[in-house]
Structure 1
Amino acid sequence: MDPYLPPVARHVREREPLIDVQNLTKVYDLGRGRTVQALDGVDLHVPQGQVFGILGRSGAGKSTLLRCVNLLERPTSGSVRVDGQDMTALRGAALRRARRGIGMIHQHFALLSSRTVAGNVAFPLEVMGTPRAQRARRVAELLDVVGLGDRGGSYPAQLSGGQKQRVGIARALAAGPKVLLSDEATSALDPETTGSILDLLRRLNRELGLTVLLITHEMGVIKRVCDSAAVMHDGRFLESGPLPELLAAPDSRLADALFPLPTVDLPGVVTLSYAERATEPVLSALTREFDVDVNILAGTVETVAGAPYGRLKVQLTGERTAEALEYLRARGLAVRTAGDPLAADGAEPTGEGA
């Protein structure tokens, strides 16, 4: 068996983090007694086989966190474990070997202009000392996987932005990693190309069992491919968890940003967050069982990572309104009344391009 072929779909062991970051801090010394704290006690737990998205504005600390995962940046304190190995304890050759299990794709492709497409994909294999015949087989296989089987002899200048990013993905997969890090991989692409790259990442996640950690400032990326997400601001996570739980939470900043609804200054207004029951006629049941009037003021239902989610802002009037709200909660809907605060202080999670 060729040791450089990608693993077949691995069994996803729920609750066992493949990436386990504990209390991570990163402080940059600017000289003359000045410092900048880029990470402030970050905890990150990414289960095997998931696509995990970190959302935040520029300067939130997203890229620093990503580079600490593969130790391109050494954290000031805290620990980083990938596939059970303490990355922060490694140096030199041991660290280089460990990084082979972590592929990385970059915002601006980072391709070698003097090499062909095939040469770019082969480069990490050459560094590893992979024999020429194995390199050729592996490169051909990967170019087919990313849809560039006929472009191996082309140079980066002859490719579109989306094609360049596909080369970058193929190169990141060359060593058969278990983890793929994506550093704003679609922010330089047009919307249609962005969609195709995200679909490719999702397919690789499912077919190869890859665990994907991506950072973005674009809400569409989170909605399209992520299983879990975190909202980052000033080097800290405002919230983090499985996407269904975050979207169903009545006080989630991520849900507010993904499904923005207008502010309505009327009595009896509540915000309902739908998850598994997004397609059930729960509101019509209220009028029948509790004799309340339901006035729908605003709402949206969308497909997020293949499942329907949504939010409604409604006005309820009637003597049994309190009972109706308890009924909704019992049915699994999250309910936020007009006076309920958000879960955490801090800036909104949206950023440029969101």
Structure 2
Amino acid sequence: MIEIQGLRKTYRAKGRRDRAVVAVDGVDLSVAEGDVFGVLGQSGAGKSTLLRCVNMLERPDEGTVTVGGVELTALKRRPLRLARHGIGMIHQHFALLSSRTVAGNVAFALEVTGVPRNERRERVAELLELVGLGGRADAYPGQLSGGQKQRVGIARALAARPKVLLSDEATSALDPETTDSILRLLLDLNQRLNLTILLITHEMTVVKRICRSAAVMREGRFVESGAVTDLLHRPGSELARGLFPLDAPTSLAGQAVVDVTVSGAEADAPLLAEVARRFEIDVRILAGSVEQLAATRAGRFRLALPAGDDAPVAFLRERGAQVSPAVAEPDARPVDRPEPDETVVPTTRPDIQGPDIQGAAS
């Protein structure tokens, strides 16, 4: 549904022609139809720029962006605006019009595209029911909680019946309980509407709860990308360390300390007890947990096993576990970004003039 190849976007520091900031540096991305794909990274990693290049709010300097089989980077002005109707976007800070009611905010995108009044009214009512705000059509944004405001933003993003939904840190301004309700709503919409969702976030909880695929982004590049279950089993995976951090000793006298990752049926099987019984050994669990992810159950453990006996490790691997020697897990690396007193501006201006249907209220 979304195919990106060789995407590159550079900004220059205002007043300093010799200083260029590469926000996105040669990114390739493939998001299958109906997938929920999360791009995880710290502030300054290039996530927001990547997202804005997908719907062409920012035109990339190099590379191609194809959505639903249409190469957006090859389109100009009007064809591009029409193609963007199939891409919805929800924002971190809601981007609602304070002077309009809930119904008026949702109807805004339909007004811009010239949908008749009666049809708009029916569609707005349908969308408000869909996001759980059927009784709040006449309320104003100032009368809503943060979670309700974000539900309005989601309804507005779905107004034109898009097949792709972009989420720009949609839960980072919300409390944990509200975040959980919004994530459940997004997952429900994904399943009911076969909606392809590409989201950016710095919250590991978001990836854990709803993403079936993910990428870790740093300094404008993907350092790893793929299905979450595949990344969990990849030795040295940053995503695995983030989802299941193991703050425990990496060496013990007379013990072999290993990290074990399991998923699917093996995550709930009494695998460690079976190892202890079969080989008549003590298995120490130094750290770890098993949790429900979007697509499967998964767990990661740091174990201490008797040194010099490879049979328990071989057995774990035969059962589908990924096993590797425990290593100290590094802290997140610092992010390269412009100095606070510098302003960056695009090297090229977007090719879009006129109202942005999804972002005009921002």
The verdict on a shared fold, with TM-score over 0.5 as the criterion, is yes
Corresponding residue for residue 24 of structure 1: 7
One-letter code of the match for 2:326? A
Corresponding residue for residue 173 of structure 1: 158
Corresponding residue for residue 323 of structure 1: 311
Corresponding residue for residue 5 of structure 1: none
Structure 2: state its 5+ residue gaps. 336-362
Q: Distance in 2 between matches of 1:269 and 1:195?
A: 35
Q: Distance in 1 between matches of 2:226 and 2:244?
A: 17
Contact 1:251 1:341 in 2 (8 A): no
Corresponding residue for residue 294 of structure 2: 305
Corresponding residue for residue 108 of structure 2: 123
- Deviation, 1:32, is 2.2
1:289 to 256, 274, 278: 278
Contact 2:212 2:295 in 1 (8 A): no
Contact 1:183 1:215 in 2 (8 A): yes
Q: Distance in 1 between matches of 2:217 and 2:18?
A: 27
Q: Distance in 2 between matches of 1:176 and 1:224?
A: 25
**TM norm structure 2:** 0.87
1:110 to 95, 98, 103: 95
Contact 2:248 2:302 in 1 (8 A): no
One-letter code of the match for 2:311? E
1:190 to 159, 175, 183: 175
Map 1:193-342 to 2 at 5 A.
193-264=178-249, 265-266=251-252, 267-276=255-264, 277-305=266-294, 307-317=296-306, 319=308, 321-338=309-326
Corresponding residue for residue 349 of structure 2: none
> CA offsets, 1:206-254, max 9 Å, x none?
0000000011111111111111111111001111111111122232111
> CA offsets, 1:282-330, max 9 Å, x none?
22332343344322222211111163211111111155x2122122112
Q: Which has the higher contact order (CA 8 A, sep 6+)?
A: 2
Q: Distance in 2 between matches of 1:157 and 1:240?
A: 40
One-letter code of the match for 2:333? A
Map 1:73-88 to 2 at 5 A.
73-88=58-73
Corresponding residue for residue 122 of structure 2: 137
Contact 1:38 1:61 in 2 (8 A): yes
> CA offsets, 1:137-175, max 9 Å, x none?
101100110111111111111111111111100000000
Q: Distance in 1 between matches of 2:29 and 2:122?
A: 36
Q: Distance in 1 between matches of 2:50 and 2:6?
A: 12
Q: Distance in 2 between matches of 1:112 and 1:338?
A: 52
Q: Aligned in 2, Cα 1:56/1:341: closer, same or farther, shift over 3 Å?
A: closer
Contact 2:260 2:302 in 1 (8 A): yes
Contact 1:270 1:336 in 2 (8 A): yes
One-letter code of the match for 1:180? L
1:347 aligns with 2:337: no
- SS of 2:283's equivalent in the other structure is strand
- SS of 1:327's equivalent in the other structure is helix
Q: Distance in 2 between matches of 1:339 and 1:313?
A: 10
Aligned length: 329
One-letter code of the match for 1:335? V
Contact 2:302 2:326 in 1 (8 A): no
Q: Distance in 2 between matches of 1:250 and 1:340?
A: 13
Q: Distance in 2 between matches of 1:88 and 1:306?
A: 32
Contact 1:250 1:272 in 2 (8 A): no
Structure 1: state its 5+ residue gaps. 1-17, 350-354
Q: Distance in 1 between matches of 2:278 and 2:53?
A: 55
- Deviation, 1:279, is 1.1
- SS of 2:97's equivalent in the other structure is coil
Q: Give the % identical residues.
A: 60
- SS of 1:100's equivalent in the other structure is helix
One-letter code of the match for 1:231? V
Give RMSD over aligned pairs. 1.9
Q: Aligned in 2, Cα 1:98/1:134: closer, same or farther, shift over 3 Å?
A: same
Contact 2:248 2:286 in 1 (8 A): no
Q: Aligned in 2, Cα 1:339/1:151: closer, same or farther, shift over 3 Å?
A: closer
Corresponding residue for residue 48 of structure 1: 33
